Structure 1
Amino acid sequence: MSAVRFPELPDIVQQCLDKGDTRDDVLKRIKREHPDIPSFSCVLGHVLWQSFSNDCLRSARTLGNIIRDYNLRTSRNPQLTVVEAGAAILQYIETDIVRRQGPRKVHRELRKGGTHMPRDFVHDFLSVVEPEKCEARHPGSKRVHTGKIERMGPNEEWSCDGHLKLVPEMGLYIWGIVDVYSRHIQQHFVLRDASVMVNVRALYLRVAKKYKGMCIPLTAALFLTDTSGIPFKASQHFHDADVKVYPAYSGLKSVYNITVERQWRPLYDEILENILIWFRAGLRNGVYHEQDTTHHAIMQWVWARVVQSAVSQWVEGRNSDHIRKQDEMLLPSGGRPDDFYYSPEDWGGVDCLVPIPDDVLDALMEEFTPPDLFQFGPPDVEAHCEAVHRVVLNSIHLDVKNAWSVVCHMITLLPM
């Protein structure tokens, strides 16, 4: 095969397949995220396409040729023996102490890590290894929800709230924003304490900066009813906006703020409960002392990064999960939150994002962001943790398995 014009394209396609994209999804994602790649003709040196038009980019057959010629990993071509596939499943589930993850979840997480195999194989293997737990996690009944939500499109309304399950033991708070129309999780933050209103302002602005605009209104818990606590000064950029007709903020009880509330239970079941068990297992290690404020700050510095990494991976997977087709639903179904959010026109929606100039957002972020937003202790403790992690531990990736050993290492290296 001759030299390729875009040698990175096979890797890009493999990354899309690892995320669970169908062939049509791969074509749409590449067109959206890599506009510099005009067509797939550049990677098939032995095939000469008539033009670099968008028609080539939409060709599923061309994509199939790339997958075949570059021997990319798929469920049909896992490039694993049965023994290797079984070993990969066992290695993954050994970290899931509570065994809350069923075959679909295990299959998805393995695929995200680049390990492909048929989902039926994962189910059959787990049925033999852990038959009772596998059957308990296999979907059987459908829960009927009363009431229906209808929205025009993504960014018409964002729903936000916080999660307190980690506060009693770890002192860590999770705060997130979810788009109501698409159920797309915009972002989750892990920090020491988000109950202070100024922190919520700063976090909201970071999400607005990420998506280059904001949503009006924002729906949150009733304790945020003081609109001065949320930085909607940006809405003043639109001088003709009537706040009585288009309120910047809507306060709801948690039982009605269901878009964000309904994703806390799966987050806890699939991720947080497992993290808590690992946390408790190493709590009495003889080095860490809960009552020592410096030790506590080091613990939070390490475990906050562990939780943030796990939650971010969970969010990415959640946004790429397929929502089954539900004809009675007024919101889009039969696709993924990523599809609903980034391609609303394919589902009859309209993007309602209110663009805000970068200089306005930057000024607001500077005004409302406290210097210690993501800090977990005094500056000298923060500097110590950063130095040990970067220099001594060579920026090791932090996870539930090594978190306590890293904490103990940092404590033993504290200056006397």
Structure 2
Amino acid sequence: MSAIAWIAVGSLAAWGWLLFGQGFFWRTDQRLPARMDPPVWPRVAVVVPARDEAEVLPVSLPSLLTQDYPGPAEVVLVDDGSTDGTGKLARELADRFTGLPLVVVSPGEPDPGWTGKLWALKHGIARARRGCPEPDDPTLARAAGHPPHGGPEYLLLTDADIAHEPDSLRRLVAAAETNGLDLVSQMARLRVATAWERLIVPAFVYFFAQLYPFRWINAPRARTAAAAGGCVLLRTEAAVRAGVPEGIRGAVIDDVSLARAVRRSGGRIWLGLAERVDSVRPYPRLGDLWRMVSRSAYAQLRHSPLVLAGTVLGLALVYLAPPVALAAGLLTGDGPAAWAGALAWAVMVGTYVPMLRYYRQPLWLAPLLPFTALLYLCMTVDSAVQHYRGRGAAWKGRTYARPEAAPDR
């Protein structure tokens, strides 16, 4: 056989392994596990780090303030050095939308060694642990199983661009209580309104699931750990035991770092796709999506040139070789190359269809996955270039020249 035929066969073999040996990553059936209402609803603090989020806050924050949660809860919004009036707007929204009480804190610029989001979470969690509002009668609080002025039993860590359906918090807590979970995370459904969002966003979640198969994460004795930072319900006791956020203070990929810390400390974690949690942040242009991916891609590869080279070769073999082999085989009459390339491409398309259905997108986008993978390959290389130029992990006016990946220790 020709060299291109052997490459196509190698790609087909890789897809055979991905289809059956990578935790069935392509399936989209990992949703919140079975749950029952607990006899006593635990206290919860919702912590929202926010930096220049005035654009999305009018949609996301009311969805938190109006949560239909039967137990005691509050929202702590951490205004992380915003210059667009985020804190003032949050207070105005709290006055308009009655429901959960809102506290706004402003911790100032991060100390050296801290990323902005984790610095905000540190101060938001500290404020939350000083106690949530109590019922007027302390006797009623004790009767319900909540000691007066005690800290929250759970922390909902959610980004400022995430909108929750009214029963989202109730469902998350019920799932954690019913299944004895220390961390419950949902991958929020990202916005897909523009052509570039339709092309790139579903693939982003698809690639994430391929890297961190949800079934592996959710197995009781699994070693794989990951979370989706937009929606993380964390048991406070587990956070203390895991030493977070202090123990992961420099991590740019904070959600994966958080999940690993909780799992290492003996906690049980769960990650799945969201049904009632949505991101409202727009990424209308290719440049917006490019920056979203490239700011942390090289950190995910632990800033290793060797891992980068392996990633580029792997993406080329798995995603680019099938259409190239098919085209070359048809043009040169190389039957084995054409057949192997066509079969590998067909398997690739088949694995992508469930994600497109989850995002309610047309299935004709599935054959375009090789082109989308090429874009992600370029974003990853650009992430490395920006890192070595000292502009790695730039986000909203802050640049972390040498940010940490998701540490293993």
**What TM bracket, shorter-length normalisation?**
under 0.3
Question: When the two structures are superposed, what TM-score results if normalisation uses the length of structure 1?
Answer: 0.23
| Greater radius of gyration (CA) | 1
| Bigger strand share | 2
If asked which structure has higher relative contact order (CA below 8 Å, sep 6+), I would say 2
